[in-house]
Amino acid sequence: MIRSRFYIIVNGKPWYITIFLPVTRYHVSEIMDTLSITGINEENYLNALENLTSSRVNNGITYSSSEHRETVSIWAIATSPAEYFNLLVHELHHLSVQIASMNDLDLEGEDVCYINGDIAQYLYPLCRPLII
């Protein structure tokens, strides 16, 4: 599993992002500890725990906290490079929209596209072996 933590600047302040990929159920403790630090509520915590312990593939979880200015995104293993690319695009959309919404940015504007692009560019070297 790869764990990557980085930040982007949104509205002049850092927004921290932690990505876990490709995840299996053997990584649950570390991921749940990270989610706890972000202040995740009990319902979302239990949903994430259920998802992570189910051993499902081709799926992910993205949770953001405006209070902590942080997002945690978890991407499971996938059944093919095409499925992993699908998962990456799907979770990247959730990640960008959550950050934009929590910062009162126009979801149809350029700011959310730049957020998406900045994150994608950072993640490219990590994801490249999983999608080729």
pLDDT value for 26: 83
Helix (H, G, I), strand (E, B) or coil at 113: helix
pLDDT tens readout for residues 4-54: 999 999 999 999 999 999 988 888 999 999 999 888 999 999 999 998 898
CA distance 113 to 121: 12
pLDDT tens readout for residues 56-108: 899 899 999 999 999 999 999 999 999 999 999 999 999 999 999 999 999 99
CA distance 51 to 25: 9
